[in-house]
Copies of this chain bind each other. A is one copy, B any other.
């Protein structure tokens, strides 16, 4: 499942200087994000490289600069539960324990800003606006997880439609979504099989709600109202 390269994760921090993430197009006006850019080191990960693993010490906070990252957990029965997808501008790796409860991998080649948690904590102690951002980030994370629960009690069509709308909300323009993740990633995120995801997408296309390109990673939303229902 994982490449053996780059699994040494954090110890590989390069000497690259932090660079502005503004060119990624992600909105980034928050104090926390700004601070991370000043304090962080830039890391690059090839496709499928592990960024951190479950049970490793959670000493760093991460911010996507380019590419996409997935966090996930492997269950006892071998299934994989994808917990979230992180696009440029998104912060991931936030934990409330000493160890990561999830693993993180680059979905596509990714540039990631890596910041020591201890440094951010110290900064939060000095700067109330940073502490406030931490609080808000935590709230968003909790909200995101709760929304996921609401998703998982719905049927396959609703899950896929919600997923498409969420992705459209986050990183697309003009109703066209460029999905960085595979069908398997989507299936593991939605708690469905890859076949069900495919069939549901086909059904939505038949119903004229979406269009799927030949490469299958580009999807055009034709009828948002139909998707929302």
A residues lining the B interface (CB < 8 Å): 73, 75, 79, 81, 83, 95-97, 101, 135-136, 138-143, 145-146, 148-150, 152-153, 191
Contact = CB atoms under 8 A, between A and B. Distances in A.
Contact of A143 (B79, B101, B135, B143): B101
Kindly name the residue among A135, A139, A149 whose own CB sees the greatest number of chain B CB atoms within 10 A.
A149
28 contacts: A73-B150, A75-B150, A79-B153, A81-B153, A83-B146, A83-B149, A95-B139, A96-B135, A96-B136, A96-B138, A96-B140, A96-B142, A96-B143, A97-B139, A97-B143, A101-B143, A101-B146, A138-B142, A141-B142, A142-B145, A145-B145, A145-B146, A148-B149, A149-B152, A152-B152, A152-B153, A152-B191, A153-B191
B150 A149 contact: no
Given A95-B139, A96-B142, A145-B145, 4 more contacts: A81-B150, A96-B135, A101-B143, A152-B152
Contact of A96 (B97, B139, B153): B139
Nearest to A97: B139
